[in-house]
Amino acid sequence: PFLIVHGDADKAVPMKGSEQFAAALKKVGVEATFVPVKGAGHNGPEFWTDEMMAMYQMFFDKHLHNPAAK
């Protein structure tokens, strides 16, 4: 699974590339979650808000959690 997070104000890497990447992954059956970050550039505090951290945690818990490991 892929989690693709991209700032909608990114001037370094066009967001269209991330959108196309997510679509191509889905087309071949790969789980892909695309999350645009409003007002964010290529990096910045918008990626590290409590809401974003909770979203990251949920994604990793869903895909990496191994109950047998406990």
- pLDDT tens digits for range 12-27: 999 999 999 999 999 9
CA distances from 48 to 27, 54, 57 (A): 30, 10, 12
Looking at residue 65, its pLDDT comes to 79
Q: Which pTM was predicted?
A: 0.86
CA distances from 62 to 3, 14, 34, 43, 48 (A): 12, 28, 16, 25, 19
